Amino acid sequence: MSAMDGRLTRIGIFYDGNFFFHVSNFYHYHHERRARVSIGGLHAFVRQQVADCENTDPRYCQIVDAHYFRGRLRAADADDRDLLYKERVFDDVLVREGVTTHYLPLSREGEKGIDVWLALEAFELANSKRFDVIVLVVCDGDFLPLVRKLNALGTRVMVLGWDFRYVDPNNVERETRTAQVLLDEVTYPVMMHPIIEDRARQRDPLIAGLFVPRKEYGSSPTIPRPALVAPEGGPLSTGTGSIQTLKSGYGFIAADQGGPNLFFFHEDVKGTDFLELKIGDRVLYVVGQNDRGPCAKEVRRLAASAG
C-alpha cells in the first residue's frame, strides 16, 4: 500500500508500563543522555517507523488508540507524598498525549494480572477496531500468545524492544533483554537501543525527540517530610553527612559520625531529583540495610547554611 491511495494506516499502541518505566529510568539515571523517554516523542517516532515499514507517508499513519497498563501503590499505602506527586505529573502527560491508563493496585507480591489485562484488552480492541498495526512496548516472552492471536487476525504487529545493562541498588550489574521469541514472530521487530546509539542519527530530530528536555521536567512543590517509622518497631537511626561520590544512578555518603561511606540508590532520594545532587551536598538520611551491610535510605538534601 502506498500513500497515493489515501488510505489511513490505523495504529494502536499498548504499553507495559513497568517495562516503559524501567527503560525511562535507565536513560534518566544510567545513560549519558540523563533524560527520560518522552511519550509524545515516542509516538512521533512510531508514526515514522510504521510509515517506513508500510511504505507510506507518516501523514497517513495515525495512532488512533493508546493504552498504558501498570500496577501502582494505593494512596493509603504510599508513605512518600513526593512519589504520589510524580505519579500524578506522569498521569497528566499520559492524558495530554491521549493515552488511556489501566491501573491495578500493587500487592505485596508486586504486579499481578497486568500482563493478562494488557493482552486481553489488546486482542479485544484489535478485533473490534481493526487496527492495521499494533505496537507493543513490551519485552516479556509471555506476550507471545497475544502476538500469535494478532497475527491470526491479520493485524501487523510491531514490538519496540530494548537490550541494556545497568547497576542495581546493591551495586550488582543487571541486564534487560527483549525476548527473542517476540522478535521472531512479529511483523516489525524494532530494537531501539541501536537506533538511539547510532552516531549517524545523533542530529535526527526524531531521535532527539525521544527524550524529554531537562527544562521540561519541572520540580515538585515543597512537600512536608513524611513521618519516618522504624521497621518492626525498632529504634530509628538517622544521620547527616556529605555526598562523597555520585555515579550513574547511585552514590555514597560520608557520614558525619565516621565509619564507612554509605551507599544510596537514586530511588532513595526524596524531595529532589537525583540528578540535581552534587558532590559535597549536605544530606539527612535514615540508616538502612541491604545485603552488603548498612546503607542510606530516605536521603534528603539539606538547605545550604547562610554566609
8 A C-beta contact, residue 165 and residue 43: no
C-alpha cell at 204: 535526527
Dihedral sign of CA atoms 25, 29, 30, 33 in order: positive
> What are the chain's domains?
3-216 (3.40.50.1010), 231-301 (2.40.50.140)
Whether the per-residue pLDDT at 256 is higher than 80: the answer is yes
Dump pLDDT digits (tens) for 16-33. 999 999 999 999 988 989
8 A C-beta contact, residue 283 and residue 241: yes
Dump pLDDT digits (tens) for 146-197. 999 999 999 999 999 999 998 876 678 889 999 999 999 999 999 999 999 9
8 A C-beta contact, residue 126 and residue 4: no
Euclidean distance between CA atoms 141 and 111, whole angstroms: 16
The top-scoring range by mean pLDDT among 88-97, 260-269, 297-306 is: 88-97
8 A C-beta contact, residue 296 and residue 288: yes
pLDDT band at 272 (very low <50, low <70, confident <90, very high): confident
Q: What DSSP string runs through 49-60?
A: HHHHHHTS-GGG
- High-pLDDT (> 70) share of the chain, %: 84
Q: Which residue has the higher pLDDT, 105 or 116?
A: 116
Euclidean distance between CA atoms 4 and 7, whole angstroms: 8
Q: What is the largest CA-CA distance in the chain?
A: 74
pLDDT band at 81 (very low <50, low <70, confident <90, very high): low
Dump pLDDT digits (tens) for 117-145. 999 999 999 999 999 999 999 999 999 99
Whether the per-residue pLDDT at 109 is higher than 90: the answer is no
Between the alpha carbon of residue 111 and those of residues 17, 71, 90, 104, 114, the distances in Å are: 11, 5, 19, 8, 7
Between the alpha carbon of residue 266 and those of residues 16, 136, 180, 187, the distances in Å are: 22, 28, 30, 37
Q: Which residues contact 60 (CB under 8 A, 6 or more apart)?
A: 3, 6, 7, 8, 9, 51
pLDDT band at 108 (very low <50, low <70, confident <90, very high): low
Rounded to the nearest integer, the mean pLDDT of the chain is 86
- When pLDDT is averaged across residues 40-60 and rounded to a whole number, the result is 97
C-alpha cell at 6: 489515501
3-state secondary structure 26-94: HHHHHCCCCCCECHHHHHHHHHHHHHHHHCCCHHHEEEEEEEEEEEECCHHHCCCHHHHHHHHHHHHHH
- High-pLDDT (> 90) share of the chain, %: 61
Q: Which residue has the higher pLDDT, 82 or 151?
A: 151
* pLDDT given at position 205: 94
